[in-house]
Structure 1
């Protein structure tokens, strides 16, 4: 940012946001970069940063299995890989191995997801999927990061000898312990471990009776630690073997370093990619903690915030389990100067800081706690004058500091500047300071700058009402209790409620009346008028909100009724069909029951039942015919519906007419119509035909050329 200074960071407490983000980083490089985060100079670069943060936030919100961004940086290993005959230690290879695995996991995750996450996928273009690095390291190291026994034949031989010698040492030692235990010259602990050797814990009075090397004694001198004589040459051999092992491991690591050095450029890119993802991951985690979103990008210069929260206030209230009231406001070239007035402790400064901090975060590539339908644009400068910045060192009073700051604003402000001026004009004589503040305000307005300004000065409020592209705003108060509602309302200035607040805080009414008598009548009347207007507006907004709520509830009730009605009617239809079906089956059942009642049993029943059986067969045949007729009717209906959807082929009788070539200007008619038209345009399957003033697209196979 061309005129972005540290004072703006301090005023808006953006440094606290940077510290929060830094703590969410894994790598030292990403943490350092986060602490140095400032709004970007390039709008395109800022968009890329925002899209990257948005994509990774969406990945996390969807709950996708994303690789865990945790790694050790590789600067030291990269430096060694570039030096000939250098050797990377075991821990370094473990770091390279984990980095390669993590990058491979990232590549695998974004494979076939390029369309969903194009910006994050693009970050991986400088790396590629490979097992060469991990396979080479796997040949040398086991899963615990230790060099394998079979890393080389020589190492395998050495370690076998080490195991053999240690086995002999332990056998000899255990034998000595058993022998000396019977003699009663060992302590209760029996043994110890000194200089990486097993030693006997001998009662000091018997130390001269034991052949071996004394390696130490207890603090009290009661015990003497002796290496058994029989193990001395074996321990010496063990030390030489361990030294051989160390040299062989060094040789193996040197060979592996040379092999891995062929991939040094890729490993350098591992470092870049992982730090980049660590940086973006911190942004995504921060966004999730704030329920932040990416606002839309406005084509013109504007700020349109919907349900915006001050991030630090939101976090503080969340920790205290308190509700945070969001703010909504809109500023464009027709309302680019917003003057907020009203009583102290009503939220003016918080609203101003919310706008400023969200703008700085947005231009630093961070998602912000607003409704996603919000829209924002990029400013060349964000400049602030907030709080008491007097300097004893530089012998500056608050007002002197503000004048110097204003001088800077007047020099650099333009149509792409966002100014945030808290308690504008204060610090000097109210009338003289107010007059100067009015001049400053008008000058900044003429520079076409954007600005959010808080003030108590009536002349600034009046000037904002007079200027075409400025607008007044106020923080709403409960007019009955005079408690702040922390909601911004634009369109009119706010009353300071000076006397009302004084009265509610117990100031005697006679003192308040005395104070009123000392003021200009017009000023008192104006404050009363503003106060009354604010009360009326508050009442109107309350009624409007109640009306909106009632309308919403009515729509929901209507929708619920319609859904219930539809479900009820569907249920009635189902029940009617079921009743009809059951009545049919009931009729069939009654008929069959009559057949059963008439059926005779006995010796002569066969001849008696023959007419009945013939009747039953006839009845069954009739009923079966009815069912088949219904099924056939349904089949014919489906065929008719299918035929209606397809076009009929031209009749053979008109084949001669169709043989005439179809060209632009041909006179044609639709096969089922007598009206003749002329061809305007011929497509592959459709032809545009003009019938008088009407133009119609007709399938070619439905047209007949008229001679």
Structure 2
């Protein structure tokens, strides 16, 4: 279970999903991104993570994996399934080139050492990319997407006759054109053009009776008429007949090729599904490389033991900013966190000054755990271990509802009501600025009661707060631990480092003194 309904938007995962879509090469790959969801089955998640990690290693090793012609051909296959229908040359080009990519991918994994990419290799089992079908398409359609002139003996013959007649036509009409220009019937800068599929001359309207032939059209101004000279009637007719014959033979060839394709449709659908899946996994691997992400040791139990974990969206944002700043510009880096939630230390209560990184730390936990259970590698250091949760329950930000006349605090209480109802030993609870929004003594007391209930449910979680009573509760309660966001009171600057084991301070007095608030007010 994920709470609230707009969990992805609240935690920042929508940004990663959009980026993944951009990294895909195909519509099928993007569909996989759209279908990506929170996974609670260990075996399924382990397989998906292994696939992504193998592709990450593949890219890191510099291997040349087929990276072109990831066309979406499902619409072509659907059309080909209709009796009597045929695919045009452009459709066959996409089917052919994609099938060639599929064969290249299968060959890549087949020829790789057996100990490399075992999970990716398994994806290709049962995938058929028929060599004879590929050869048949290649015989008809070239690598530019055009039907070959020699796709059939008759097509070649018609094509040769067309070329011959067109040459005769150009020669004949050039003769008429020269004479007409010499007489001033056609402007010297004009050339023959096409009207109604036939070659015509642009004749000055007042001289239209001088050129014997058939008028096909006139210009918008009426000053030019387009005449087909009588000398080229027969040649134009021959060319039109040959073009019609060419088109009939073309359709016959494409229809026959479509008929040859049709029995392979089930295998082709499966093969192109395989290509879309590879595209999706490749996009996840590319994202992992952007984030310097890796595969932690995966446990089926609820557990977080991350070393050097970074907020992925912040990391990408800083990376772009650093690139824009150039070599001499100021560089920003995400401060990594060490986070540990175990059965013995299930709840982390983070305190510290405002804008010191408490909320970012909480969001990092939620976002990284969610991306992991969506099958993505996570930005952490070596020796990290990650478990699985069945629920992630998030309460963060202002959920005030004008429609339901709920205050911010009321919306928080509704969230707490749901949390204490559903939370269990496989839940991850994330609550930002716990207890705020009402009178501190009451808000703190209610928050402590909620924590006690969550503790009885054996839930895991990260809580951020300023309240002393919650820090004290964490200090004396088994399964809880305090955490502090480090702060430099001399420079009034947050250090964004999380220190586990002791509560943090808001540094209100120190900050007041530093900024020069009157001494009598501070004391």
Q: Is the 2:185–2:210 Cα contact (8 Å) retained in structure 1?
A: no
Number of residue pairs aligned between Structure 1 and Structure 2: 512
Q: Deviations over 1:327-362 (max 9, x none)?
A: 112221111110000110100000111111000000
Write the distance in 2 (CA, Å) between the matches of 1:216 and 1:379: 75
Contact kept? 2:490, 2:514, Cα under 8 Å: no
Q: Which residue of 2 aligns with 1:584?
A: none
- Structure 1's 61 and 233: CA in aligned 2 closer, same or farther, altered over 3 A? same
Aligned-partner Cα distance in 1 for 2:68–2:297: 28
Q: Normalising by structure 1, report the TM-score.
A: 0.70
Instruction: Assess if the C-alpha contact under 8 Å between 1:295 and 1:372 holds in 2.
Output: yes
Kept in 2: contact 1:37–1:364 (CA 8 A): yes
Shift of 1:299: 5.9
Deviation for aligned residue 1:89:
1.5
Alignment partner, residue 272 of structure 1? 273
Q: CA deviation at 1:502?
A: 2.5
Higher RCO (CA-CA < 8 Å; seq separation 6+):
2
Q: CA deviation at 1:4?
A: 5.5
Aligned to 2:376: 366
Residues 1:460 and 2:470 aligned together? yes
Q: Does 1:181 align with 2:191?
A: no
**Matching residue of 1:494:** 504
SS of the residue corresponding to residue 401 of structure 2 reads coil
Q: Which aligned pairs between 1:117-196 and structure 2 lie closer than 5 A?
A: 117-195=117-195, 196=197
CA gap of 1:219–1:188, structure 2 versus 1, over 3 A, is: farther
Q: Which residue of 1 aligns with 2:103?
A: 104
Secondary structure class of the residue paired with 1:22: helix
The CA distance in 1 between the partners of 2:509 and 2:4, in whole Å, is 40
Secondary structure of the 1:142 match is: coil
Partners of 2:205 and 2:222 within 8 A in 1: yes
- Please list every run of 5 or more consecutive structure 1 residues that lacks an aligned counterpart in the other structure: 514-707
CA distance in 2, matches of 1:132, 1:506: 84
Q: What is residue 326 of structure 2 aligned with on the other side?
A: none
Q: How far apart in 1 are the matches of 2:40 and 2:242? A: 63
Structure 1 distance, partners of 2:21, 2:143, is: 32
Tell me if 1:379 matches 2:389.
yes
Using the TM superposition, give the Cα deviation of residue 497 of structure 1 relative to its aligned residue in structure 2, in angstroms.
0.9
Deviations 1:202-227 (A, max 9, x none): 23322211101223334444333222
Deviations 1:160-191 (A, max 9, x none): 32222212211211111222233233202232
Q: 1:342 maps to what in 2? A: 352
Q: Which residue of 2 aligns with 1:75?
A: 74
Tell which deviates more after alignment, 236-245 or 188-197.
188-197
Q: CA RMSD in A?
A: 1.7
- Give the equivalent residue in structure 2 for 1:287: 288
Q: Which runs of 5+ in 2 are unaligned?
A: 323-331
SS in structure 2 of the partner of residue 409 of structure 1: helix
Using the alignment, how far apart are the partners of 2:512 and 2:25 within structure 1? 53
Task: Note if contact 2:302-2:342 (Cα within 8 Å) is conserved in structure 1.
Answer: yes
* In 2, Cα distance between equivalents of 1:306 and 1:143: 50
What's the CA shift string for 1:106-153, capped at 9, x where partnerless?
A: 011101334210111111113135321211012212332222222222
- Deviation (angstroms), 1:383: 0.9
Paired residue secondary structure (1:427): coil
What's the offset of the Cα at 1:421?
0.6
Shift of the alpha carbon at 1:436? 0.8
Question: Matches of residues 576-655 of structure 1 in structure 2 within 5 Å?
Answer: none
The alpha-carbon deviation at position 480 of structure 1 amounts to 2.0
Provide the residue aligned with 2:29 in structure 1: 30
Partner of 1:208: 209
Indicate how the Cα distance of structure 1 residues 386 and 84 shifts in structure 2: closer, same or farther if over 3 A, else same: same
Identify the residue that residue 549 of structure 1 maps to in structure 2: none
Query: Shift in Å at residue 461 of structure 1?
Result: 0.4
In structure 2, the residue matched to 1:320 is 321
SS at 1:190 equivalent:
coil
Query: 1:239: which partner in 2?
Result: 240
2:202–2:227 CA contact under 8 A, matched in 1: yes
- State the Cα distance separating 1:55 from its structure 2 match: 0.6
1:62 matched to which residue of 2? Answer: 61
- The SS at the match of 1:307 is strand
User: Counterpart of 1:425 in 2: which secondary structure?
Assistant: coil
Residues 388 and 70 from structure 1, CA distance in 2 versus in 1: closer, same or farther, beyond 3 angstroms?
A: farther
Within 2, Cα distance between the matches of 1:249 and 1:145?
14
CA distance in 2, matches of 1:7, 1:169: 69
**Residues 1:69 and 1:163: Cα distance change in structure 2 (over 3 Å):** closer
Name the structure where helix makes up a greater proportion of residues: 1
1:67 positional shift: 0.9
Checking the alignment, whether the CA contact within 8 Å between 2:291 and 2:379 is kept in structure 1 is yes
**In structure 1, how many angstroms separate the alpha carbons of the residues matched to 2:68 and 2:455?**
48
Which residue does the alignment assign to 2:85? 86
Query: How many Å separate the matches in 2 of 1:36 and 1:100?
Result: 24
Match of 1:705 in 2: none
Distance 1:151 1:320, change over 3 A: closer
Tell which deviates more after alignment, 234-243 or 284-293. 234-243
> CA contact under 8 A between 2:36 and 2:374: conserved in structure 1?
yes
2:402 corresponds to 1:411: no
Larger radius of gyration: 1
TM norm structure 2: 0.94
Distance verdict in 2 for CA 1:35–1:421, change over 3 Å:
same
Deviations 1:279-306 (A, max 9, x none): 1111111111111111111364321111
- 1:556-575 mapped onto 2 (5 Å cutoff): none
- C-alpha distance in structure 2 between counterparts of 1:79 and 1:223, whole Å: 48
- What secondary structure does 2:125 align onto? helix
Query: Conserved in 1, the CA contact under 8 Å of 2:28 and 2:273?
Result: no
Asked whether 1:480 is paired with 2:490, we answer yes
Distance, in Å, in 2 between the alignment partners of 1:79 and 1:265 is 11
- Deviation of 1:5 after TM superposition, in Å, equals 4.8
